[in-house]
Amino acid sequence: MIPRYTLPEMQRVWSDENKFQKWLDVEIAVCEELAAREEIPAQALARIKQKARFSVSRILEIEREVKHDVIAFLTSVAENVGEASRYIHLGLTSTDVVDTAQALQFKEAAALIRGEIESLLETLHSQAERYRKTAMIGRTHGMHAEPTTLGLKFVLWYSEMRRNLRRFDAATKAVCCGKLSGTVGVFAHLDPDLEERVCRRLGIDFADVSSQILQRDRHAEFLASLAILGSTYDKIATEIRHLQRTEVGEVQEPFGEKQKGSSAMPHKRNPVSCEQISGLSRVLRGFLVTALENIILWHERDISHSSAERVIFPDATTLAQYLTRQLDRVLADLQVNEAKMMENFGLSRGSIYSGPLLLELTRKGVLRDNAYRWVQRNALKSWDAKLDFQELVKQDPDISARLAAAEIDRIFNLEYYLRNVDRIYERVFGPGADGTVSEIYKQ
């Protein structure tokens, strides 16, 4: 991933230095278990643990000659260890090391992403409480529908992010898995017990069965969780972009004091952060296609997946962390124009109350189809002629014959729509929850 979208801690996870260190961690863990079985001399293990190191530049130099990165790595390590290096990589094939070590990288990358998600959840909860009673018009098909609150948008996003976190945790568990089953997965040179012990030592799961590689449905599941995560971010960013439009003007993403919006138009304050989130989310979703294609390999393995994974795994996790932090920043400092929200209520001239009016007429014994036509004709007239809907309704002979003016006035009440908002909050956050992620997530 280009530096523009790369945070330093994630860059370290996928660096050559960390990758080779994880390879070495796997090799040493195998040596430790073999030594415990007395299949490696204790003094050889001590020599390996003391002297085993590598040089990235040396590995790359060797690889240019041998065209094999694991052999280049082992050669570099052996140059430092000496005679005892013959016990390193004993009974292993390259992918035993690569796939198992990669699980350790996924574990580190996932921890970084999860930390960002937890922070985003905290922000969503905080903003949901802050704007719990901030009324605004809800829109369907992009048109005014019925009232809602800004807080409920945050509650909706919070609930979705909690599902994202659960999917992400499950996918992380699936991908943080090792294998030491050998060239075709039959444990010809090492046995399943050793694999289990090594993986436990490394703090990861082990595959019940594998071929020469871990099956790539695990990795596709992980990339799918990131793709869905990105789609959530895109959805939220798109909502903010719509609400920031000049014609709406209800919210605005943060805009710095020295920030400039356009090289040609000084008046512009463009939603560039949200547009970036939408654009990069498309890239994140795109990685999933490659991950799905990587599931299909020849027989016990080929390496058509390998080259693609060198790109999609670092880039997908890097973007996931970056986008989570970006969205967190946007939402934490979101500028809300409550006056504009109330002003926009007036654009429909009261016709947004057509729903409760329709229901009240049916309660009075009017057939629903008749009531619908009576209410609709007044709503359309209100819009076309720019007249007050409430007054038109009072003047309609069909409606006024069933509803007194005072009854009509009671219908035009914002509280009618918002009376159950607190109940929704209880369903999502739970009664008495302190609002912290750890407390809410338990529920």
In a domain, 422, yes or no: no
Q: Which of 94, 141, 144, 211 is catalytic?
A: 141
Residues 184, 319, single domain; the answer is yes
Q: Which of 328, 208, 202 is nearest to 274 (CA)?
A: 328
Residues 377 and 268 in one domain: no
Q: Does 84 share its domain with 105?
A: no
Instruction: Please give the pLDDT value at position 432.
Output: 60
Last residue of a domain, one of 315, 342, 369: 342
Question: What is the identity of the amino acid at 211?
Answer: S
Rounded to 10°, the helix 94-130/69-81 angle is 100
What are the beta bridge partners of residue 144?
139
Residues 319 and 362 in one domain: no
Q: How many domains does the chain have?
A: 3
Could you tell me which residues are beta bridge partners of residue 177? 205
Q: Is 141 a catalytic residue?
A: yes
Which entry of 55, 85, 144, 262 is annotated as an active-site residue? Answer: 262
Residues 317 and 381 in one domain: no
In the residue annotation, 242 being an active-site residue is answered as no
Contact call for residues 353 and 390 (beta carbons, < 8 A): yes
Decide if 282 is inside a domain.
Answer: yes
**What is the domain-level CATH number for residue 336?**
1.20.200.10
CA dihedral 119, 121, 126, 129 (to 10 degrees): 180
**Cα Rg of the chain, angstroms:** 30
Measured in residues, the chain has a length of 443
In this structure, are 127 and 275 located in the same domain? yes
- Do 242 and 371 lie in a common domain? no
In a domain, 426, yes or no: no
Q: Which domain holds residue 98?
A: 92-342
277 within some domain:
yes
277 and 256 belong to one structural domain: yes
Answer yes or no: is 33 within a domain. Answer: yes
Identify whether residues 172 and 44 lie together within a single domain.
no
Question: Cα angle vertex 418, ends 415, 419, to 5°?
Answer: 80
In this structure, the answer to whether residues 207 and 269 fall within a common structural domain is yes
425 in a domain, yes or no? no
Residue that is last in its domain, among 90, 119, 146:
90
Distance set, CA 109 to CA 44, 53, 215 (Å) = 33, 23, 20
Specify whether 309 is located in the same domain as 373.
no
Residue 364: which CATH number? 1.10.40.30
Q: Name the residue with tokens 């070590």.
A: 101
Q: What is the pLDDT of residue 175?
A: 98
Residue 113: Cβ within 10 Å count: 25
Q: Is residue 208 part of a domain?
A: yes
How much of the chain is in helix, strand and coil states, percent to nearest 5? 70, 5, 25
Task: Tell me what pLDDT residue 62 has.
Answer: 97
At residue 16, φ and ψ (nearest 5 deg) are: -60, -40
**Quick one: 157 and 281 in the same domain?**
yes
CATH code of residue 75: 1.10.275.10
Q: Kindly state whether residue 440 falls inside one of the protein's structural domains.
A: no
User: Measuring CA to CA, which residue among 229, 122, 230 is closest to residue 168?
Assistant: 229
Other beta carbons within 10 Å of 160: 17
Domain boundary among 42, 71, 90: 90
Per-residue pLDDT of the chain (443 residues; tens, 9 = 90+): 899 999 999 999 999 999 999 999 999 999 999 999 999 999 999 999 999 999 999 999 999 999 999 999 999 999 999 999 999 999 999 999 999 999 999 999 999 999 999 999 999 999 999 999 999 999 999 999 999 999 999 999 999 999 999 999 999 999 999 999 999 999 999 999 999 999 999 999 999 999 999 999 999 999 999 999 999 999 999 999 999 999 999 999 988 778 887 777 888 788 999 999 999 999 999 999 999 999 999 999 999 999 999 999 999 999 999 999 999 999 999 999 999 999 999 999 999 999 999 999 999 999 999 999 999 999 999 999 999 999 999 999 999 999 999 999 999 988 888 999 999 999 999 986 544 444 433 43
- Quick one: which of 59, 46, 49 has its CA closest to 19? 59
Cα angle, residue 192 at apex, residues 189 and 194 outer, rounded to 5° = 80
The pLDDT value recorded for residue 434 is: 47
